[in-house]
Amino acid sequence: MVKRFLYSQKVAPYVFVLPFVLVFLVFWIYPLASSVGMSFQKVTLGQEAQWIGFDNYAKLMGDKTFFKAVTNSAVYMVLTLVILIPFPMLFAVLINSRLMWGREFFKSSFFFPALTSVVVAGTIFRLMFGEMEGSLINSILGWFGLDPVKFLKGQATGYIALVALATWRWTGVNILYFLSGLKSIPDDYYEAASIDGASSWQKFTRITMPLLKPTTIYVVTISIYAGLAMFIESMMLWNGNNSPKNIGLTIVGYLYRQGIEKNNLGYAAAVGVVLLAITMIINLAQLAFSGMFKKEE
């Protein structure tokens, strides 16, 4: 009986996907549903939750700090997309090129920062971007005769520090994604193109870029999510969740502030639901735009 069950071609697939489905239900659907529920409640730990309808959302709409957090996350996401998609793609192509010398060396050195913990990296970047004259970046500015800058106290300079940290950390990872995509492009296409007299640039735009599209879409999708959900980098860079004038406050940072620091879990859940909505809208739009939902031809 057991044997028949296990060997059944109809049942086996479900048995194999069951662990995933369970994990998905318990760790994804359940928390998601309960967050949505909580966002309509006033929740204080240790006390009975009260249903308050749309009060949390109404409050959210009038909350300037929340909009500041949304703007910060959005700007950060756009900046990381602008830097962390084209450059890693270019580097991957260079590293993949036959003419490249010391390929393995570059591959591993680009990847190395991803192995460090955000906590350590953030702390080191905080010191590098310190406002004292003696901090690394300010000493470098000093060689060019420039005055020290209070990087972590200004909005624009704060973004520079955040994006520098993200670039340093994630360039290598994105290069690897693109490299694995490049490996799946058959050499024949390039050979054929060469015979037809195509230039390197033409090969890049006509063969590499179109065939890398699935990889690119994947990288864009996770980058959008990672950009909007960024939190630890900011927390480490500013040594806590409270940056001057909230220049480093992200959506998740605000969720943490309301939920954990202020013990206002219902309101925090509303923040989370809005974050989910924003991420889904942007990503679905992006995926639809890039044709991911069309049937393969």
Residues lying near another protein in the complex (CB under 8 A) are found at 44-47, 59, 62-65, 111, 114-120, 130-132, 150, 153-154, 173, 176-177, 180, 183-184, 232, 240-246, 260-263
Residue (107 or 275) nearer to another protein, CB: 107
DSSP 33-66: HHHHHHTTEE--TTS--EE-TTHHHHHHHT-HHH
Which of 255, 87, 227 has its CA nearest to residue 159?
227
CA distances from residue 176 to 89, 92, 171, 207, 218 in whole angstroms, order as listed: 9, 7, 9, 19, 13
Q: How far apart are CA 112 and CA 104, in angstroms?
A: 12
Beta carbon of residue 263, minimum distance to another protein (angstroms, whole number): 6
Q: Which residue has the tokens 């959210």?
A: 60
Beta carbon of residue 60, minimum distance to another protein (angstroms, whole number): 11
Q: How far apart are CA 45 and CA 47, in angstroms?
A: 5
Q: How far apart are CA 236 and CA 256, in angstroms?
A: 14
Beta carbon of residue 155, minimum distance to another protein (angstroms, whole number): 10
The torsion of the CA quartet 145, 150, 154, 156, rounded to 10 degrees, works out to 40
Asked whether 171 and 87 are in contact (CB, 8 A), the reply is yes
Beta carbon of residue 222, minimum distance to another protein (angstroms, whole number): 11
Residue (115 or 192) nearer to another protein, CB: 115
Residue (1 or 45) nearer to another protein, CB: 45
Residue (116 or 205) nearer to another protein, CB: 116
Beta carbon of residue 253, minimum distance to another protein (angstroms, whole number): 12
Residue (191 or 261) nearer to another protein, CB: 261
Beta carbon of residue 83, minimum distance to another protein (angstroms, whole number): 19
Residue (150 or 198) nearer to another protein, CB: 150
Q: What is the C-alpha radius of gyration for the chain, rounded to an integer number of angstroms?
A: 24
Q: In sequence order, which ranges of 144-264 are alpha helices (DSSP H)?
A: 155-183, 187-195, 200-203, 209-211, 213-228, 232-237, 251-256
Residue (42 or 282) nearer to another protein, CB: 42
Residue (68 or 206) nearer to another protein, CB: 68
Beta carbon of residue 291, minimum distance to another protein (angstroms, whole number): 24
Beta carbon of residue 72, minimum distance to another protein (angstroms, whole number): 13
CB neighbour class for 111 (10 Å; exposed up to 12, middle 13-18, buried from 19): middle
